[in-house]
A = this chain, B = another copy of it.
Amino acid sequence: MSKKRILVFVGGRANYSSIKSVMLAVKKHPDLELQTVVGTSAVLERFGKVEDLIVNDGFNINARFYNLIEGESPVTMAKSTGLGLIEASSILDNLKPDFVVIVGDRFEMMSVVIAAAYQNIRIAHTMGGEVTGTIDESIRHAITKFAHVHFPANDDALKRILKMGESEEFVFNVGCPRTDLVKKELENDSLEVLKTLFKDNGGVGNEIDLCKPFLLVSQHPVTTEFGCNRMQIEQTLQALNRLEIPTIMLWPNADAGGDDISKGIRTFREKHKPDWLHVFKNLPTNQYIHLMANTACLIGNSSSGIREGAFIGTPVVNIGTRQNMRMRGDNVFQVGYNSQEILDAIVKQVEHGRYECSHIYGDGKAGEKIADTLANIEPSIQKTIVY
């Protein structure tokens, strides 16, 4: 019997962390063959070119496409998806996978979802059923309606997917694949892993002493609040500027509004020349996990604070609507776009220190469970809503 071909699409750095353990498990599985496709920001230097990390991790890239149209506005985000759809169609036509695995809810995912759906290729979806803000909320649930198999990361999410009319037979709460990486990574020694952080990743600004308390900031654009992103990052920077605690920050992702945030950070740096701030383009997952395990507080609107943060116990200040109603543990403190509010919350979390480990986002075996399931199921290509 020939192996089932499982195609995984990676569109950016966050994507990869969310699916790496699945890729490893598929690659190792005797009945499965892994096909890896990269595109959108995963192939671009400007976003850390996670493609190189993937190759370094021993995966073979089967196809690659460039589809990000410059402009970072809502209209180019839509067009980039159109171009990605054209590209992904050809790629799927050539690779002829049995399953396409779609991660989460980023805008470029729709390119691959539609290319697969219209070509009668089965779709497996991870991290569906969650509730957040931005256009991701709509994208995520629309993908659910195209997907043939669902791997939600928690129980709330599973219930929502069933409610939307998906067949119980094909919905599996496997936990979050990111937790797999976290669990494995925490077996290593933080100091060892972070020793070469600055040498490895360059970035701009002074080096930070990681043995002393430091902050970690990761704030991305909110596409439904296009036009407000500059103000939002400025509130955060203002709070940080008053604290002057040594801080590691990441540049924002490629969504509409990302340019505004980048500009906000660049302007702040030119103006205040903050000696306490170091900004990285992006970081390898392993180093990021150890930063989360050692930071005094993670600030911003990255889902990592909520997902990985739960397992690690990182104190988190989550700003604004981007994570909306995503299920969260005790470690997360929610605030609005207000520099005073943000400042107060950071102080509170720094004082509290590390939280207990929580399993709401899985026990670290999601990758294997997904691979096993894909090897053993054969859903009908014709979906029918359950009601």
**Which residues on A are within 8 Å of B, measured CB to CB?**
43-46, 65-71, 73-79, 81-90, 92-93, 107, 110-111, 114-115, 117-120, 131, 133-135, 137-139, 141-146, 159-160, 163-165, 204, 223-224, 226, 256, 259, 263, 270, 321, 324-325, 381-385, 387
Contacts and interface: CB of A to CB of B under 8 A. Distances in A.
**Copies of this chain, count:** 4
Given A86-B79, A86-B86, A120-B226, A141 B68 contact: no
A76 B77 CA distance: 17
Contacts of A387: 131, 159-160, 163
B131 A384 contact: yes
B46 A75 contact: no
A82 B90 contact: no
13 contacts: A68-B69, A75-B89, A78-B88, A82-B89, A120-B135, A120-B224, A120-B226, A137-B382, A138-B145, A141-B165, A142-B146, A164-B385, A224-B382
Contacts of A46: 70, 259
Contact of A69 (B74, B83, B111, B382): B83
Nearest to A227: B120
Contacts of A139: 117
B74 A66 contact: no
Contact of A71 (B44, B71, B81): B44
Interface of chain A: mostly helix, strand, loop or mixed: helix
B77 A66 contact: no
Contacts of A82: 82-87, 89, 111, 114-115
Nearest to A94: B63
A88 B115 CA distance: 18
A67 B252 CA distance: 22
A81 B114 contact: yes
A229 to B, nearest CB: 13
Nearest to A75: B93
Contacts of A384: 131, 133, 137, 324-325
